[in-house]
Amino acid sequence: MQGQDVELDVTTIAHGGISVARLDGRVVFVTDAIPGERVVARITDDRKKSFWRADTVSVVEASEHRRPHVWDAASIDRDPAQRAGGAEFGHIALPHQRELKRQVLVDALTRMGHLDASVTDGVSVEALAGDDDLSGTRWRTRIRLHVDESGRPGPFAARSHTVVPVDDLPLATEAVEEAAPLEQLFPGEEQIDILAPAEGGARLIIGSQAKTTVRERVGDREFQLDDGGFWQVHRLAATTLTEAVQDLVDPARFDPRAMNLDLYGGVGLLAAAVGDRFGQATRITSVESDPRATDHAAENLQEWIGATAVTGRVERWISQLASTASAGERERLNRATVVLDPPRSGAGKDVVMRIASIEPAQIIYVACDPVALARDVALFAERGYRVEALRAFDLFPNTHHLETVVRLSR
């Protein structure tokens, strides 16, 4: 069947930005489709007995939510092998994108996280200011291009390592798009990063060139970091997550003198959010494995007299803390608020169990993957922690990604 075109009735959305159909009883995961549509799709992978994969090549019966793709380079009019990746929801009207993301989030949290409807009822994926006016474009302050054998830069095609030449980058901010060297050649290089931080204008990072420091801004606060270091991509994401964490921390459970923790702390964004919310005397330790990020975090958090930035792998650091804490430290840990913002794969069983073992008063979990979040929520539940509050944000318009912030407590 591989390479064959078939007609499919698309029924639901799945995690990862793909839709679900059935062919002779077999599940088929279909790209570039919308639930409710009938499409012609090309089978791209028939090796599994339980499911196949396919790419939409034309639409027989279109959803009312289908629109012209915001990026011609990713349009259904192109051969699937030459569609630019990174805008897999660009053919869907923005409100329905958010509804599909909500469905994925709620399904993961109820089916895998075992949350009941009282927690997930009323959840919506919140838009960021200005995104609707721009059709979900012009939000990326950072973008990575890959370089093909000829030296031409471009994005990878969806679900491949094929570099696709493009003429524009509509999800990028205007400053990033203007700086992107789409017509230049870079023989011998593998990738090019373009970023437009809050201060200093747009810049390129070609290959492994020496790092420089850039400055980002959240409200009146300034953060320094390496130009290649991690920072939220959406122009308003850092501000949005700062406000969300401040909103979800329960002040009745917060003790500024406790051993509060910021795990996977990066350059100190969320530790600063907590410090700004509860005052300069707040005690909080930010833990990050990247020593350069830790150095920057120490600078960014220096005005809080109780703030500390340490370098360490979270799973090892929290394990040592849990096993060596004195009686006095354990009492301060029991009163603590733990903020964690793990990578897309989530915190995982070891970290969740170690956090739960120190029995903090509350946990604020920032997640960029709903399935990883649901898995970790279920693990926390085994140790007596339940989700009390939940917010979700559309930090990645025209893609399947979303960001979720939850509060857990005993």
Which residues are known binding-site members for S-adenosyl-L-methionine?
Answer: 232, 264, 288, 341
- Crossing angle (nearest 10°) for helices 370-382 and 94-111: 30
Q: Token digits for 345?
A: 């794969």
Cα 312 to chain centroid distance, Å, stands at: 22
Residue ranges for the known binding site are 232, 264, 288, 341
Which amino acid appears at position 311 of this protein?
A: T
Among residues 368, 373, 374, 392, the one annotated as catalytic is 368
Burial code (b: 16+ CB inside 10 Å, e: under 16) for 288-325 equals bebebbbbbbbebbeebebbebebbebbebbbebbeeb
- CA–CA separation, 265 and 341 (whole Å): 7
Which amino acid appears at position 347 of this protein?
A: A
Q: Token digits for 390?
A: 């939940």
Q: Token digits for 145?
A: 């291009």
Place of tokens 């524009």: 168
Place of tokens 């980002």: 216
330 is annotated as an active-site residue: no
Strands 203-206 and 191-195: antiparallel
Strands 125-126 and 142-147: unpaired
Residues labelled catalytic:
368
